């Protein structure tokens, strides 16, 4: 119970506070449920996407290992020394239930194959093209995992707030309102009894 004076003004103040707490609890509960729903949608997309990215990156690594097996190390180093492919990442922020989450978009220019074909293997070409193909899904995976992480943090905070309102604030305010109401009722009964005694004394 809160430590307050049992007055009518305090009772009105606490009733307004209770109404605000109940409204806040309802809104935060709706926010919690919607964040959970959005998180489930993103999580459902992440699992197959991660499997696909891992599969593509494993294939890329396998291709690079095959290229290393048939090429001299100095030839691989010379072939990849001066890249012609340029890559940049544009980050835009979006709002999901008042949570700012990133949307990633890649901007690529130039050719990933930046060498002549005289001293290189076809496996190196295939490995680089596989790496280029994996970029799109890799960026999408990074975007969704970051969104999921931010939403999970917000969900945890919202759950804490809902629990504090539900189990601490609202019960405390309700108990204090009951206490003040009982005190005021008792004071009113005492006052009525006193007035009745005064009336009896006057009539006598």
Q: Say if 3 falls within a structural domain.
A: no
Q: Beta-carbon neighbour count of residue 62 at 10 Å?
A: 14
Q: Structural domain of residue 128, as residue ranges?
A: 11-194
**23: CATH:** 1.10.287.3240
pLDDT at 204: 66
- DSSP calls for 29-59: HHHHHHHHHHHHHHHHHHHHHHHHHHHHHHH
- When divided into structural domains, the chain yields a total of 1
As a three-state string, the secondary structure of 131-165 is HHHHHHHHHHHHHHHHHHHHHHHHHHHHHHHHHHH
Q: Say if 142 falls within a structural domain.
A: yes
pLDDT in tens, 116-146: 666 677 888 888 888 888 888 888 999 999 9
Distance between CA 63 and CA 65 in Å, rounded? 5
Long-range contacts for 195-202 (Cβ within 8 Å, ≥24 apart)?
A: none
Q: Say if 2 falls within a structural domain.
A: no
Q: Say if 83 falls within a structural domain.
A: yes
Distance between CA 108 and CA 129 in Å, rounded? 13
Q: Say if 135 falls within a structural domain.
A: yes
Q: Say if 130 falls within a structural domain.
A: yes
Output the CA–CA distances (angstroms, integers) from residue 58 to 8, 32, 51, 127, 181, in the order listed: 72, 38, 10, 10, 71
Q: What is the pLDDT along the chain (204 residues), one digit of tens a residue?
A: 677 788 888 989 999 999 999 999 999 999 999 999 999 999 999 999 999 999 999 988 888 888 888 888 887 787 777 777 777 888 888 888 888 888 888 887 777 777 766 667 788 888 888 888 888 888 899 999 999 999 999 999 999 999 999 999 999 999 999 999 888 888 888 888 888 888 778 876
Q: Say if 202 falls within a structural domain.
A: no
Say which DSSP state 118 is in: S
Contact by Cβ (8 Å): 137, 53: yes
Q: Say if 160 falls within a structural domain.
A: yes
pTM of the model as a whole:
0.74
Residue of 107, 37, 30, 123 lying closest to 75 (CA atoms): 123
């Amino acid at each position: 119970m809160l430590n307050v004076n049992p007055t009518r003004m305090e009772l009105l103040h606490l009733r307004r506070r209770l109404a605000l707490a109940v409204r806040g609890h309802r809104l935060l509960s709706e926010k919690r449920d919607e964040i959970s729903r959005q998180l489930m949608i993103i999580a459902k997309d992440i699992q197959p996407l991660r499997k696909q990215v891992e599969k593509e990156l494993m294939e890329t690594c396998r291709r690079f290992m095959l290229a290393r097996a048939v090429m001299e190390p100095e030839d691989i180093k010379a072939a990849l020394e001066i890249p012609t492919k340029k890559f940049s990442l544009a980050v835009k922020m979006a709002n999901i239930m008042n949570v700012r989450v990133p949307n990633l978009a890649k901007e690529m220019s130039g050719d990933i194959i930046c060498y002549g074909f005289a001293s290189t293997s076809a496996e190196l070409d295939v490995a680089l093209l596989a790496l280029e193909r994996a970029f799109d899904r890799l960026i999408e995976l990074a975007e969704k995992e970051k969104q999921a992480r931010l939403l999970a943090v917000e969900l945890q905070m919202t759950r804490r707030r809902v629990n504090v309102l539900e189990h601490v604030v609202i019960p405390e305010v309700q108990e204090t309102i009951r206490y003040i109401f009982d005190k005021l009722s008792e004071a009113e009964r005492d006052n009525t009894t006193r007035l009745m005694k005064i009336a009896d004394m006057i009539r006598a």
